[in-house]
A and B are shown apart, each in its own frame.
Chain A
């Protein structure tokens, strides 16, 4: 299994397509950082306009933590496509190239082969998120410095003390990794049903778009299924930035307001991952390879 996983990773990281995702993230984050470096003052004035009369800000809103929060909000919408590029190609790409049949004549069980492929796509997903963290968090911290994190909500502002931010980002990135692994599992599952890469990639994105719309639409008919849609739980990383307050209405350092929400979402996502992977393996174990 370990040997096969190494081989899968070797194949992933010898394909030019793999680096496309890393290049795209580098370019996107670079553009955001450049824009905020040049016009950041105007941007913060614009977003803080509603609160200008309510309180004054002592400190630097436009710091590395704030930039990373903006980047995460923007990027986590697009990253699923980059994940799908690899995960939805894991089986269908091999079928398309014709290498699948050769692979399956080797002395490994189909389950071993498929699990190695899935874990390889998970490792790719995690590396992609680590790259987002390096570029979005660490580089932003280096360029913009650090200070308290201002998070603008629709009708209020949350201010997280700078000493209380970093661990929240660690938690948010871990949760984002889980959410993106769900996307990888969905792409992996859909790749069993096609013999070209485009179909499963498009199908993965279509499922995500449809489920996201269902998750966000406030229609009673859909409210029943919302809690079970994985897309409803993919944005739960934001919960890491909501904290409890004490009787004096001061933030409790190291607290999370609704930890049960995070746990519930994580469970739903894990169940989706298990369902997609187990379903795919169950289907593929019985499949006649005719390609």
Chain B
């Protein structure tokens, strides 16, 4: 079932086209990764989904309803954190959550509020004013605000911005938990590929406001095209041996002493065995970030692949 359907969405700011004929769909239960470099148009698109920005052209349907005509009903079922999780700093976490719950159309009980704070690990700081919180705690409070009215769709715009590694891991686990345990549909935007790679079931990559790729994450991480970095006791000898073998088809010219080739992930044990049989001691066989390579390739290449979908 399509939760979000966007067709030919366009936003122009004077001469600048921030989003250009963008179409995509988010399915029920997706953790939908929305990727793009800074300035690619992610935030503008998300703001249009949340009615903060009016599209110049195009159509947005959420839960099968037109956003233009059914704004109120749709927003009742959406929870969002947009960039920084800004809340009222002079109020406590409990007060902020209560206030935004009421604005979302529910009458919260103390138990409900404390449960939400428990989910994001802030129950022990419920009565502290937000100005005493760290960036990570504010981010978690922002997510609690997004969740407090039990929405079907959660939109998180750059939720790991400004967080330390522990904070990033916390948010990642929270998103996975929301999807798996609470069966929520989540749209999460980021310019950090490693983050999206670990959580997204489907991915949209945009550049200069246009769609480059929309696909299942599994398809983008094709195991038959895993890039491998090889380090041995004698890289030159290893390179010569591989060049003259069946493994040499995808071997790239040696650069900075590094051997790089493309393998099927399932063949890695066999590949290792082969090198050992040729008296090469393998120090490391490291799969490179395939999505990152892919992303850099397609965004730097400025080639707009309109239909990369199934």
Residues of chain A whose beta carbon lies under 8 Å from any beta carbon of chain B:
3-4, 7, 10-11, 14-16, 97-99, 101-109, 286, 288-290
Contacts and interface: CB of A to CB of B under 8 A. Distances in A.
Interface in B1-38: 13
Given A104-B51, A105-B75, A107-B76, A98 B86 contact: yes
B48 to A, nearest CB: 9
B88 A288 contact: no
Given A106-B75, A107-B73, 4 more contacts: A16-B90, A102-B86, A108-B72, A288-B52
Nearest to A97: B86
A107 B76 CA distance: 5
A4 B102 CA distance: 8
Contact of B104 (A10, A15, A106, A290): A106
A109 B72 contact: yes
A105 B82 contact: yes
Nearest to B155: A105
Given A107-B75, A289-B53, A102 B82 contact: yes
A107 B74 CA distance: 8
Contacts of B90: 14-16
Nearest to B77: A107
B205 interface: no
B173 to A, nearest CB: 23
Interface string B36-51: 0000000000010011
B99 interface: yes
A10 B72 CA distance: 23
Nearest to B145: A102
Contacts of A289: 47, 52-53
Contacts of B289: none
A228 to B, nearest CB: 34
Which 7 A/B pairs are nearest by Cβ-Cβ distance?
A: A98-B86, A107-B75, A289-B52, A106-B103, A288-B53, A107-B76, A105-B50
B302 interface: no
A92 to B, nearest CB: 14
B274 interface: no
Interface in B85-134: 86-91, 95, 99-100, 102-105
